[in-house]
Amino acid sequence: MRKNASAIKRARQAGERRLRNSHVKSTMKTHIKKVMVALENRDKESLDELFRKTVSYINRAGSKGVIHKNTASRRVSRLSKKVRSILQEKA
């Protein structure tokens, strides 16, 4: 067990951050999965709004330090490439 007050506080803060970060990561992955399902179904109507919300959430996670900024940028780039390919298809 920790011996001094500062170590106890740091352990508590680390636990709180871990829970918050895991929630943000899980929610981000859920957003991405929803976009991927819309891509598979070729649902162009909902795809645009889902994509905008997902990009916003990924960028927020990157700016808060939950994931690295370059990781956030890479995920947005790869996702937008897939979305563009669907939206630019001829009907």
Among 61, 63, 39, CA closest to 50: 39
Half-sphere exposure for 82 (CA within 13 Å, toward CB)? 17
> Structure pTM?
0.86
> What is the per-residue pLDDT across 25-47, written as a single tens digit (0 to 9) for each?
999 999 999 999 999 999 888 99
Q: In order of start, what are the domains of the chain with their CATH numbers? A: 5-87 (1.20.58.110)
> What is the per-residue pLDDT across 49-66, written as a single tens digit (0 to 9) for each?
999 999 999 999 999 999
Query: pLDDT value at position 1?
Result: 67
Q: 91 in helix, strand or coil?
A: coil
Mean pLDDT of 68-85: 96
pLDDT at residue 67 greater than cutoff 80: yes
pLDDT confidence bin for 91, thresholds 50/70/90: low
Angstrom distance (rounded) from CA 75 to CA 9: 34
- Helix %, strand %, coil % for the chain, to 5? 85, 0, 15
Angstrom distance (rounded) from CA 47 to CA 18: 31
